[in-house]
Amino acid sequence: MSPTVSVVIPAYNHERFIRDAVNSVLNQTFSDLELIVVDDGSTDRTGEIVQSCDDPRLQYHWQKNQDAFNTINNGMRMASGDFIAILNSDDIWELNRLERLLAVQKKTGAEVLISDVTPIDDENRPLDDPDFGWNHWHQRNRQVFFDSGDLYLTFQRGNVMVTTSNLFMTRKAYETVGEFSPLRYLHDYDYIFRLLNAFPGAVHYLHDEKLVQYRIHGGNTLGEGAITAREQDLQVITASVMAKVPEQVRPYVAAGIERLRELERELADVRSQLAAQQAVEPAPQPGLGARIARRLKRMTS
């Protein structure tokens, strides 16, 4: 007999966090589930730790390293439940998450549910300082939802789902939308837009319930990944805009978007050139009055 919920954990080199992630699923107050852990070629003790968990609901599968979106897709193909949920191997669920989401789904008929999240650090401590930069970003995105009540518009301004660990959907939603796109950083953002387009009005946001602990790792640095992520962000947002306009006007919208992007690049170039020019220009010489005053001072001293 198939379980009610299939949970997929894509895992890669998270020996420090994987046990907490697995336990947060197996200890859920709703227990009719299967947990599918897909190990994406970990080279640490991730696999050993998962396989040490003695629970018949747990499946462990190892694969050669393929990237997160492929790992999730492989796990979802194995899922047999009426609902599918994802948890990243360094995040944690609140123990009543599935029970709460299933209750809301039964009441509303939602095809997709997300909740709010709690950011945590490497030691599982909540990052609740209101001045913490991530909290500013997340609250700004949530405020768009509070002001507009429009979830699609909210996602165009920012990803309030935050993480694939926050995604809970019916099997119908998965079979309708299909698999994650091959985007290394923005596969979750792309996927939620596809769900919103496929099921308008049936994607629900539990904005007042924090049912996921989302881990923010310390020591992150700005690198090439930051550029790729923003390029993918442009791609996802452009697709979300195009999906909302009539087909006959899409060429005009596409042209306008591309021109705005060109203008941003041109503005950045001009600002850079002006800054470089100002850096090499000689400092302005003091006026005649200042030079005379200095001479008089020397003569009288």
Burial class (CB in 10 A: 0-12, 13-18, 19+), 241: middle
CA distance 194 to 197: 5
pLDDT tens, residue by residue, 118-147: 999 999 999 999 999 999 999 999 999 999
Q: What is the mean pLDDT of residues 245-265?
A: 88
pLDDT tens, residue by residue, 157-166: 999 999 999 9
* Predicted local confidence at residue 286, as pLDDT: 56
Say if residue 301's pLDDT is above 80.
no
Say if residue 219's pLDDT is above 50.
no
* Predicted local confidence at residue 51, as pLDDT: 97
Quote the mean pLDDT of the chain.
Answer: 91
CA distance 96 to 93: 8
Say if residue 292's pLDDT is above 70.
no
Select from 23, 55, 59 the least CA-distant residue to 39: 59
Select from 152, 200, 205 the least CA-distant residue to 176: 200
pTM for the model stands at: 0.85
